[in-house]
Structures are given as C-alpha cells and as structure tokens.
Amino acid sequence: MGDSVIVCRNLTHYYGERLIYKDLSFEVPRGRILGLLGKNGTGKTTAINILSGYLRPRAGECRIFGERSEAISPATRARIALLIEGHVQYSYMTIAQIERFYSRFYPRWNRDAYYGLMELLKVAPRQRISRMSCGQRSQVALGLILAQDAELLVLDDFSMGLDPGYRRLFVEYLRDYARNGAKTVFLTSHIIQDMEKLVDDCIVMDYGRILVQMPVRELLGSFARYTFTTGAAELPPIEGAFHPGVMNGRAELFSFAPQRQVEQALGGAGIVFDGLVRESLNLEDAFIGLTGKY
Amino acid sequence: MIKAILYKEWIKMRALLPVAAVAVLGFTVYALLRVERAVDFRGAAHVWQIMIDKETVFIEPLRLLPALAGIAAALVQFIPEMSQRRLKLTLHLPFPQRGMILVMAAAGLGALAVLFAAQAAMVWGYMHRLLAPELTARAMMTAVPWWAAGLTLYMLTAWICLEPTWRRRVLYLLMTAGVARMFFLSDVPRAYDGMLPWMAALWLFSLLLPLLSVDRFKQGCQD
C-alpha cells in the first residue's frame, strides 16, 4: 500500500443489472495530483461517490487516510475537501453567509483564499448564489474548496461551467496550491487539455475496467499514434495495438510499443504497409487512442 | 459548529417563521375573539355552560395549524438538502453525521416549540381570566395532541424528504397520513388524555426515522 492516501481494492459495482466495475483497484499516492479520465458512463462519478461514502459497492472497499470510505470519521473528513459533480453548494446562501458557515468547521480555514477568488467574480457579497450564473456558482464552490486547506482534494468534474480564462487561472492556481502545500488531489474532468497541465498521474477508464494508470509524462512518452498507407480495407487485430482503423487507404493505430516492434507486429499480422510514421500525442489524443472514438 | 448548523437552518427557515407565526398566532387571536364576543353578548356563565353541555373548548378551529406548521417547517428545511443531493455536502462536514441531522431537526423542533408555546400562552392567558381552572385545563389538554401532531409530523415529513427513493417516499407518505389521521380522530375535549404517553413515545420514535433515511442515502439507494 505504501504511502497512498486513497486505496481502492477490488471494487465491483452494478446499477441494476448493468456492470460498472469488476475488481477495480487503484491507489492515489500522497502528494500527487491524479486525474481520472473516462468516457461518459464509465463510472468516474460512481468512483467518487464510493470514495466519499455515498455509495456502497457490491464488493471491495476504499480507504482514505486508512479509514473505510463508508465510515470516515469527522476528523478525517476535515482533511478532505470534496467538490460534488455540478459544483453543488448551498445556493440559498450569499457569498458572505456561506463563507461564515463553512469557516466554523475547518480549523485551517483560509478566508483570504476564498475572498481572493471571489473578488474576480465582480459580484456583491450579499448576492445570493442561486442568482449567479452557472460559471460564477462553480467559482464559489471552488473557492470554498481551496479555503478549507485540506490535505486531500476530491474534485468531480471541476472544470464544468467555467469559462476558458477562469479555467486556465484555476488550473494554474490549483497546481501551485497543490504542489506548494504538498496536497493530494484526485479529480475528474471532461476537459482533458486542463488535465494535461495539471495532473501528475492519470487513470484512464473504459467500461468496467482501468486501461492504464501511470504518470502522464510516462504515458505521453511511450504511447504514440502510428500511421501508414495500406491497401487493406480494414485491419485485423494486431498485438499491442489500440483501435486500429483504415480510412481512404490511410491506416492508424495507437500503441505503447516502439516503432520497430510495431513494424514486426504489422508484418506478423500479414499487413502490407508503407510509410510508417510515429507521432507523439497530447493527453487528449492519448485518451482517444486508448478509449476509441465511440 | 453547532452554531454554524443552526445558522444554516435559520437561513432556510427565516422566510417561513414570520408567516407561520402570523398564521398560528393570528388564527389564535381570531378564535379567542370569537369567545370574547360570546362573552360580551351572553356572559361568561353562558360560555361555561356551552363548554360543558356541548363538549367544546372554542379553540377547535386551531386544531390543524400546528400540524401544518410542522409540515411546512420540515419542507423548507429538508427539501433544499435533497435538491441536487445537497445532503452530500452536509454529511461531508466534519461533524458526526447523525448528530448533524439531529441538530438540524432540533432547530426546527425548537422553532415550533417556541411557536406552540406562544400559542399556548395566549390561549391560557385569555382563558384563565375567564374560566374556571378545570375548564382552562380542559381546553389546554384538548390542544396538547394538536401540538404533538405538529412535532411528530415535522419529524415524519423530514423522514419522507430525506428518503432518497420516490417509491419509499410514497410509502412513507401513506404511513404518515395514517399517523396524522390518528391525531384527529376525536373532537371530544380531552379524548386523548389516555393516549398522551403513547403520543410522546411515538414522537420519540419519530426522531430516529430521518436517520434511517440518511442511512439509505449513504448506501446510495436510488430509483
């Protein structure tokens, strides 16, 4: 287990008859920023619900700071800042009221961090959150998360509703905040460009399983797109290749294997090819390479 | 932390409380003015006689008000918690989860208790000047089940609101309707005297029910 803040072992969960995971295991090491990536419906929010104790899996368990996720003590909850999907907050309160409310629960509450972010909103402290735009509400929720100065941040779809400028600002702020304060962050987002700038490690999920868990740098250093021309109308399964396909005589596949090995694999599969080119990927392309384009 | 929880509940309830106070106390004043008018026209002795002969306490129009106030208070407190599953935020706060729900309920019950106490004080304050102590006690004891209904229906409404699935909410609603009916079976003064300990026990039991809904919420139960 080592020095992991989050440890999930053999999670199995169904919604009705539909399998979400079977024997899913992962860890989040202390001091790392880990992004959970997956298509819609692969169970990212389900994982966060299990982690935060709002869903009991059919089998397996998650531990946070060594405590079972369905029975986390109040003292441990004070060490975990949780952003719920949709940036849900007490929207019947004003900016000032909600700060006053939360500050009583967190001994390390950082009022300046909260109001520093709120100043960017250009809204009156007495404005009710429900009367703000979706993006402004998201910013309030994120401000409250950062003000808690928690050791672990669990952020479900943190970039939802944010405009590009604020998203960039928040990503940079969060990265510095996490690194300087040695925070552990476990997050999901639909906007993968943000993740590339932010996360140290990623877990890429497909339906029911984890495809990869590794440092982003290692993923981008080893996973590549290979393109080549071929007379074949379609490609057979190729060892070590993800989502091979052909369009107008131009073939594409993704692989962790080096170029020489891909050449051998193509030859071994009986594919006649020419002009094999290896291209490095950004995180979004790597994600699509691993999970496919639907 | 308890102060912060009460502060949040106050924010949710503060629009309702003046309305509930005006409604409950306004209707109480109205009911008492009707008694006053009867005294003016026919004299206090006539009122005494009517109370004894016709088995009335003159404040029957108030019987549903505490129940309505209890239901309304629970709705304004607990619907916002379940809207967007905001209860997740509340239960994630570093405070014992069951204690959190009980403190929230205590805020609502406290507000209702103040309201009902004010109503009781008005009724008693007026009647004890006019009536024999036995008749005043008879009116007050007749009203006790109505206040008990308010406090119990508050907890049962919280139980329904916090339940995460609609199927169970409908079931709980039917059960609550049955319990509510029980409080209003008889109009005869002091008809419920023998049942008051059972009503107290029912109210104590109802304190546990929202915790059951929260446990189901935490298990991830959904439709």
Please report, for chain B, the start and end positions of each structural domain, with discontinuous segments joined by +. Answer: 2-219
Subunit contact B95:A74, Cβ cutoff 8 A: yes
pLDDT at A23 over 90: no
Average pLDDT of the segment spanning A180-196? 85
Subunit contact A54:B1, Cβ cutoff 8 A: no
ipTM score: 0.87
Neighbouring residues of A77: CB distance < 8 A, sequence distance ≥ 6: B92, B93, B94
Whether chain B has a CB inside 8 Å of the CB on A154: the answer is no
Q: Which of these, B182, B179, B153, lies nearest to B74 by C-alpha position?
A: B153
pLDDT in tens, A199-238: 999 999 888 788 999 999 999 999 999 999 988 788 888 8
B77, B93, B217: which to substitute to probe chain A, counting the most A Cβ within 10 Å?
A: B93
Instruction: Give the pLDDT confidence score for residue B86 in this predicted structure.
Output: 93
Query: Same CATH fold, A223-291 and A4-218?
Result: no
Whether chain B has a CB inside 8 Å of the CB on A53: the answer is yes
CA distance A223 to B167: 48
Q: Which of these, A134, A101, A77, lies nearest to B12 by C-alpha position?
A: A101
Q: Which helix (H) or strand (E) holds A279?
A: strand A273-279
Whether chain B has a CB inside 8 Å of the CB on A100: the answer is yes
Q: Which of these, A267, A265, A247, lies nearest to A256 by C-alpha position?
A: A265
Q: Please, are residues A90 and B86 in contact by the beta-carbon 8 Å criterion?
A: yes
Neighbouring residues of A257: CB distance < 8 A, sequence distance ≥ 6: A240, A241, A265
Average pLDDT of the segment spanning A193-203? 88
CA distance A77 to A85: 18
Contacts of B219 in chain A (CB under 8 A): 55-56
Architecture of domain A4-218: 3-Layer(aba) Sandwich (3.40)
Subunit contact A88:B218, Cβ cutoff 8 A: no
Whether chain A has a CB inside 8 Å of the CB on B8: the answer is yes
pLDDT at A1 over 60: no
Å from B111 to nearest chain A CA? 20
Subunit contact A53:B84, Cβ cutoff 8 A: no
Whether chain B has a CB inside 8 Å of the CB on A74: the answer is yes
CA distance A93 to B218: 25
A245 token code pair: 């396909």
Subunit contact A101:B219, Cβ cutoff 8 A: no
pLDDT in tens, A81-131: 999 888 889 999 999 999 999 999 998 999 998 988 888 777 777 889 998
In this structure, what is the dihedral angle of CA atoms B170, B176, B182, B183, given to the nearest 10 degrees?
Answer: -140
Å from A8 to nearest chain B CA? 17
pLDDT at B181 over 90: yes
Subunit contact A56:B219, Cβ cutoff 8 A: yes
Neighbouring residues of B196: CB distance < 8 A, sequence distance ≥ 6: B144, B145, B148
* Percent of residues, chain A, with pLDDT higher than 70: 99
Subunit contact B12:A77, Cβ cutoff 8 A: no
End-to-end, the C-alpha distance of chain A in Å comes to 35
Of B11, B92, B218, the CB nearest to A97: B11
pLDDT at A2 over 70: no
Own/partner pairs, A26-31, CB within 8 angstroms, 24+ separation: A26/A203, A26/A210, A26/A213, A27/A1, A27/A2, A28/A4, A28/A184, A28/A186, A28/A201, A29/A2, A29/A3, A29/A4, A29/A5, A29/A184, A29/A201, A30/A3, A30/A4, A30/A5, A30/A182, A30/A184, A31/A182, A31/A183, A31/A184
H-type helices in chain B, by residue range?
2-13, 16-42, 44-53, 65-82, 87-92, 97-130, 133-162, 166-183, 196-206, 209-219
Neighbouring residues of B60: CB distance < 8 A, sequence distance ≥ 6: B187
Q: Please, are residues A202 and A214 in contact by the beta-carbon 8 Å criterion?
A: yes
Contacts of B93 in chain A (CB under 8 A): 74, 77, 105
The domain ranges of chain A are: 4-218, 223-291
A104, A109, A142, A157: which to substitute to probe chain B, counting the most B Cβ within 10 Å?
A: A104
Count of other CB atoms within 10 angstroms of residue B40 = 9
B63 token code pair: 């019987």
Question: Residue A9 class from Cβ within 10 Å (0-12 exposed, 13-18 middle, 19+ buried)?
Answer: middle
Instruction: Give the pLDDT confidence score for residue A18 in this predicted structure.
Output: 84
Q: Please, are residues A283 and A193 in contact by the beta-carbon 8 Å criterion?
A: yes
Q: Which of these, A245, A207, A209, A204, lies nearest to A228 by C-alpha position?
A: A245
CA distance B124 to B22: 18
Q: Where do we find the tokens 């669990």? A: A154
pLDDT at B62 over 60: yes
Q: Search chain A and give the residue with CA nearest B96.
A: A74
Whether chain B has a CB inside 8 Å of the CB on A101: the answer is yes
A232 token code pair: 């074949």
Amino acid identity for residue A277 in this structure:
V
Name the band, by pLDDT with cuts 50, 70 and 90, for residue A270: confident
CA distance B7 to A284: 45
Average pLDDT of the segment spanning A252-281? 89
Instruction: Give the pLDDT confidence score for residue B170 in this predicted structure.
Output: 97
Q: Which helix (H) or strand (E) holds A261?
A: helix A259-268
Instruction: Give the pLDDT confidence score for residue A294 in this predicted structure.
Output: 60
Instruction: Give the pLDDT confidence score for residue B221 in this predicted structure.
Output: 87
Average pLDDT of the segment spanning B103-123? 96
Q: Search chain B and give the residue with CA nearest A50.
A: B220
Of B11, B91, B219, the CB nearest to A93: B11
Instruction: Give the pLDDT confidence score for residue A16 in this predicted structure.
Output: 83
Strands A224-230 and A250-255: antiparallel
CATH topology of domain A223-291: Alpha-Beta Plaits (3.30.70)
Instruction: Give the pLDDT confidence score for residue A17 in this predicted structure.
Output: 84
